[in-house]
Amino acid sequence: MKKSDSTVNNPGDLSQPFRLGVWDVHPNLNRISEGDVTIHLEPKAMDVLVCLASRPGHMFSRRELLDTVWGDVVVGEEVLSRVISVLRSALGDSSKHPRYVETIHGRGYRLIASVSAASEDVTSGVSTDKGRPRRASWVSWTVVSVALVALVWLGFELSSRNVLLRRGDPPPYAVVPFTSYAGCEEMPAISPDGTMVAFSWDGLTGDNVDIYVKQANVESPLRLTTQEGADRYPTWSPDGTEVAYVGTSANGRQIFVVPAIGGVPRRLIDSRNVVRGISWSPDGQYIAYSGRSEPDLSTQIVTCNIETGANRELTPTAPLGRDDVDPVYSPDGKSIAFVRKLATGMEDIYIVSVEGGAPRRITDSFQSVDGFDWQPEGQFLICSAFTGSSQALWRVSVANGEVTWVPGIGDWAFSPSIARQTGRMVYQHHRKDKNIWRVKRSTDPDGTPETRAVIMSSYVDTYPRLSPNGGAIAFTSTRSGSFQVWICDADGHHAVQLTSFADCYVALPSWSPSGDRIAFSANPEGIMEMFLVDVEGGYPARLTHGESSVLATGWSGDGEWVYFLSDRSGDWELWKLKAQVPDWDAAIQLTVGGAVYGVESSDGRHLYYTKTDQSGIWRRPLTGFQHPSDAVRVLEDVPQVGEWYSWTLCGGGIVLVSGTEGKRQLLYHDFASGVHDTVAQMDHLAVSSVSASADCSTILYVRDDSVVGDLMLVDGFE
């Protein structure tokens, strides 16, 4: 007798194949299939899926799922989060826009796709191997060895990415190297007909960044610029005869144009306020750029009439802490897509009409966006975004923001550029070597500080935090395959991994005053939440369960409270939460009007923080605070101090990174004297994430030690 298509409430009925949305699920074989696509799941992932499918629409609490699937085996919520991540990857699902598994924040999960009996051809075509003993029921696990648990963990760690690589047929396009020079080739722009690529390159000697043009199947590029200073952000004229770019000199940044076959560059737009990214309109009449009108204001998207020089602001100015960058005209020229960067580190894509109006947000799930372009038909964007462990390309629907992974490209893909006439694509394969460095200040006022790399690997090492006694360092690293929290001794030795999340972003570790716990942020379910982990090991405990993002910033001196940044009020503000018995509803808001980062003073009386609406570093009392006007600015004359995690308190003052790219300084500002002391000059690619000992004698920071980039060409991309 054929089963009805009604929902099955008895989990035992789901031991046979069943239909889940577009997928055929085979529990006894631990696999799901769609047409010719077959994906094998880990046993526990299948068990969770079967449990959810037993009652579609029902919200299963985390504890209910753990007890049902793992039984008497003690595992933490981290393992369940990892399994859910694996399921979503296999099903092609998204935590932000779920079609199968929905997260009920703070509570659990539910299956929202339809569940029905499998078709007869699927049922008859699958061998259930009745001669074998039946696989143990998912409700009867009582004994599982530690070795098996470890293997399951490893499977989850690997399958979160590998399952995507197995999906579907091989991509119908070819990816081939376009350049392989010494140094770093970056910011590629492909000509409208797809025959040439303009790009920035620091040359064979690495002494200057200039604009080059290269044809396919021709090894040597043509150098278009030679002037001193970095030339970046090339963009083609619609007819493919000229290349515009941003040139940097002692007079600031201006927009120049040069013939694509070589010639003398001429200044196209005389503006010292160009910051990042330019785009040439399809009709050839306008250049869109990102500019800053005042030092204390954010960047905004501006269009300039090439003939008249008239500027039009398309996005409004805002205080420091929010920048609009990287404008790209749509193929029909009616709108411009751009990236909005927040000082908290969040980046998303917006679209604004060339006639003005409120920008429309397109994405809401990326940690960073590093280049994008429109596909020729104007319905999709191809975007380079960081989602957890590496940089990949994603296709974004302009209509509804739906995000799908672009297969066949690989990791660490940046700056895609697509030929408007042919659809041919070029992108940058780009790797940064981020390492953690240490400065030990000399006790002699005229002495030289000792500077050396303390934590190095060929992967990303970032967000260092010295322990309260100075004997250990907490940091995050991708050295195990994805971002995790690690600790090591003060010299960078004996590193130990504390977390084992699946493919997600893990950041901002912060030691408790007693040095036995670390607070940090991670997004295993798509939204940044705060966790606690014991330095001796164990499963991280989730502190927050909410609809808003949470970024850990530090602890109170008595260890009672954890400070964090959240957008739960609609704006990014600083809050605090009880660490021992966290109650999200009882969290206390500490700032009003926007905040970027904050640190408690050593005496516990004040909160020092940076604002989103004004530059400098501010201070407010932690008790008796009545009004935002009670906050006072204690530091205002150091440029670029509002960057996330670029400063901290120590030794009666503030240590901070100041300056611009390639000309940064590590400064110490003494509150008592008001004097700035230059601790170290840091003429490197990028410097960030400062941590210091209580007496300021030891300072940690992150710097980009090297950047390697080559260009890749994709033919037949659709």
Note whether residue 45 is domain-resident.
yes
Pick the closest to residue 550 from 514, 510, 512 (CA basis).
510
Q: What is the DSSP string of 459-481?
A: S-EEEEEE-TTSSEEEEEE-TTS
Note whether residue 287 is domain-resident.
no
What is the number of structural domains in the chain? Answer: 2
Q: Where are the beta strands (DSSP E) in 570-613?
A: 573-578, 588-589, 597-600, 606-610
Chain-wide mean pLDDT for the chain?
82
Q: Which two tokens stand for residue 338?
A: 């751009």
**Confidence check: pLDDT of 299 > 80:** yes
Burial 554-590 (b: 16+ CB within 10 A, else e): bbbeebebbbbbbbbeeebbbbbbebeebebeebeeb
Q: Which two tokens stand for residue 228?
A: 């001193």
Of 117, 143, 165, the domain-final residue: 117
Pick the closest to residue 458 from 477, 439, 441 (CA basis).
477
Note whether residue 625 is domain-resident.
yes
675: Cα separation from own chain's centroid? 36
Q: Which two tokens stand for residue 456?
A: 């190095």
Distance from C-alpha of 425 to C-alpha of 18, rounded to nearest angstrom: 40
Under the banding of pLDDT at 50, 70 and 90, the label for residue 154 is very low
pLDDT at 661: 59
- Does this model's pTM top 0.95? My answer is no
Distance from C-alpha of 388 to C-alpha of 505, rounded to nearest angstrom: 4
C-alpha dist (Å) from residue 216 to 200, 304, 493: 16, 32, 47
pLDDT at 157: 33
CATH number (domain holding residue 588): 2.120.10.30
Note whether residue 285 is domain-resident.
no
Pick the closest to residue 641 from 662, 655, 621 (CA basis).
655
Share of the chain above pLDDT 90, in %: 41
- Residue 194 is given by DSSP the state S
pLDDT at 10: 39
Backbone angles phi, psi at 417, to 5 degrees: -135, 130
Q: Taking residues 333-348, report their average pLDDT.
A: 87
pLDDT at 480: 81
Most confident among 185-194, 298-307, 389-398, 541-550 (mean pLDDT):
185-194
Distance from C-alpha of 182 to C-alpha of 287, rounded to nearest angstrom: 32
pLDDT at 699: 94
Of 117, 144, 164, the domain-final residue: 117
616: left (phi over 0), alpha (psi -120 to 50) or beta: left
pLDDT at 164: 33
Note whether residue 415 is domain-resident.
no
Strand order in the sheet with 360-361: 322-329, 335-342, 347-353, 360-361
List helix spans (H) across 92-183: 120-124, 146-166
Note whether residue 255 is domain-resident.
no
Of 74, 91, 117, the domain-final residue: 117
Note whether residue 209 is domain-resident.
no
- Residue 270 is given by DSSP the state -
**Confidence check: pLDDT of 285 > 50:** yes
Give the amino acid at 406. Answer: V
Under the banding of pLDDT at 50, 70 and 90, the label for residue 312 is very high
Strand order in the sheet with 108-111: 60-61, 108-111, 101-104
Note whether residue 233 is domain-resident.
no
CA 177-181-187 angle, to 5 degrees, is: 70
- Residue 42 is given by DSSP the state -
Most confident among 62-71, 215-224, 237-246 (mean pLDDT):
237-246
Q: What is the DSSP string of 388-407?
A: SSSEEEEEEETTT--EEE-T
Q: Which two tokens stand for residue 588?
A: 């206390």
Burial class (CB within 10 angstroms; exposed 0-12, middle 13-18, buried 19+) of 625: middle
CA 253-254-260 angle, to 5 degrees, is: 125
Residue whose entry in the numeric block shows the structure tokens 């259930």: 128
Residue whose entry in the numeric block shows the structure tokens 């799922």: 65
CATH number (domain holding residue 107): 1.10.10.10
Range of the domain at 461: 432-651+683-706
